[in-house]
Amino acid sequence: MDDQGAENSERVMDMETAMGIAARIWGDPDYEYVIMNPDLAERIAALLMNNANAINNPIANEPPEMIDAWMDTAVQNQRNADYYQGLVVRCGEAIGEPAYVQDDGGIVDEVLCAKVPELVEALMRS
């Protein structure tokens, strides 16, 4: 990445905005004793822009194989979550109507997964 910032379509800050922010440093009362240095201001602006764009698109500079590994991990994580959610839904279906009743008494069409553990605990106590 050069001093002009992230080379992607999801930029959140351009050089003009960054230069405006950097210039304000010298207008700040806490730094009025510092003589403005145009080269330093441009460098600060470039760093601000690069950091802002990288924070908002953190994978922009990662190698493709790293992104592929993250995506594989995310896909497997979602498979695992779906599997375990499916188990909770099956338990709720086996419990029956109490797994579909909201705290306010309303009945929903799908198992309320967050309610299943307390229902199982109640069944185990009885």
Q: Are 17 and 45 in contact (CB under 8 A)?
A: no
Residue 112 near residue 102, CB atoms below 8 Å: yes
User: Is residue 119 domain-shared with residue 75, that is, in the same domain?
Assistant: yes
pTM above 0.75, yes or no: no
Range ranked top by mean pLDDT from 11-25, 51-65, 112-126: 112-126
More confident site: 32 or 7? 32
Predicted confidence (pLDDT) at residue 68 exceeds the cutoff of 80: no
How confident is the model at residue 107, as a pLDDT? 97
Same domain, 56 and 72: no
Residue 7 has pLDDT above 50, yes or no: no
Range of the domain at 2: 1-61
16 and 45 fall within a common domain = yes
In terms of domains, do 51 and 69 share one? no
Cβ atoms of 9 and 56 within 8 Å: the answer is no
Indicate the number of domains in the chain. 2
Last residue of a domain, one of 43, 61, 79: 61
Residue 70 has pLDDT above 70, yes or no: yes
Region 50-69 average pLDDT? 70
What's the Cα-to-Cα distance from 36 to each of 28, 31, 41, rounded to whole Å?
11, 10, 8
Q: In this structure, what token pair is assigned to residue 99?
A: 């797994």
- Pair (46, 69) in one structural domain: no
Amino acid at 31: Y
Instruction: Give the pLDDT confidence of 39-53 residue by residue, as tens digits.
Output: 888 888 888 888 877
Q: What does the block give as tokens for 55?
A: 């924070």
